Chains A and B, each alone.
Chain A
Amino acid sequence: MLKEQLLAVLPDLDPASVVPSASMRSLGADSMDRMDVVVGTVEALGIDAALHRFGDAANLGELTDLILEAVPA
């Protein structure tokens, strides 16, 4: 889902570059792009959590972990 949102926001991105160790910043996403990716992902997954808990992720792997923790059971 995260990858899908990222590719929707940055359609020119090479899907093979979207790996856990990459950060959205290193992939060329600016701050507004990153906001759209995070908000789009949590809304698509039905997560009703404060957004700031996703603000400290250093890379896509960490962001994925934080999102998985917040997915409703």
Chain B
Amino acid sequence: MTPEDGRIIPAEAQANASRVKQKVIDCDVHHALRSGRDLLPYMATRWHAHLEEFGRRRPVPFIASSPYPKTAPALSRTDSWPPNGGPPGSDLAFLQEQLLDRYNIEYGMLHLLMSGMDERNQDFGNATCSAINDWQYENWTQKDQRLKAAIVVPGEDPPAAVREIARWAGNPDFAQVSMVTHAIEPLGRRRYWPIYEAAQAHNLPIGLHSSGNNGHAVTGTGWCGFYVEEQHNVALSQQQLAISLVCEGVFERFPKLKAVIIEAGYVWVPSVAWRLDQHYKRMHREMPHLTRKPSDYFRSHLWYSSQPADEPERPEDLRTVLDWIGWDRLLFSTDYPHWDMDNPEQAFKLRLSEAEQKMIYNENARAVYGLA
């Protein structure tokens, strides 16, 4: 069989890929601010004036656009703009209708694609993170108990991040701690460890959704030309993020810490782990802080959200890859309302058993996040 043959999905697989049988835990739902002003009620008046005069200061070229224009306005499905106005994801009722009710979502894990962590004015960044958390709590999680927020922390100021974690830890509306992934240093580096210490102490996983801006080139060899590259390169960065957490020894120092890599796919995990194991044989003396081979940490401390669903040329290859990764590591996600959202009814071009569906759509996430 050649790879070309695999492009045709057998009718049998199509027929069986249809309905999801149990309730879904969606590990990547994007709510949104109607505008930056939504945060003002949660910020000291000093910052109202600041926002008016100076605005946000991040290491990006444009005030209100990406240097890699996306494939759709607001990165979103064209039908996801709420009828009552505001950007996609900003209207709770419409999000309930289009996502939570439509797809039998038991829990939706919220990820705001905005943070104070990559704000260069650190006090403003800290205030922004706190305001985001207050806003999420009052307007989202308190209004629909299916929604679980992430504690957005200003990771470049670890003491402030630890204070923010302490402010929300124990509140069942918050299921994880969230940092931008394009931080100033790779997130395994020691400056971020106080955050991991606090997360572990409060039994909160770290949720790492591709996000943020740090001024570094989008690849190890410079800036690419197109969004079609950048979208993929951001996922490659997430691979390097996992490498950083493993190699810098985060899971040795914090053995109960869990990290979830979000919106990077997952089929890359085996080859990254094999590569680390292979070269660890030659370079392990550089890193005596590791007591196990790198792949072991992938198996015990890292989880991956599913979207965008990887599509092997031969659908059955996905089974091989999931056997390599471990079926307990994969968490279903839609990425609603973004243009490349995965529909839980059609995300896998592979016939999954009922038990496999149960793990991927529900039980794995329930275990990671300790959901009731």
Are chains A and B native binding partners rather than an unrelated pairing? no
Residues of A within 8 A of B (CB): none
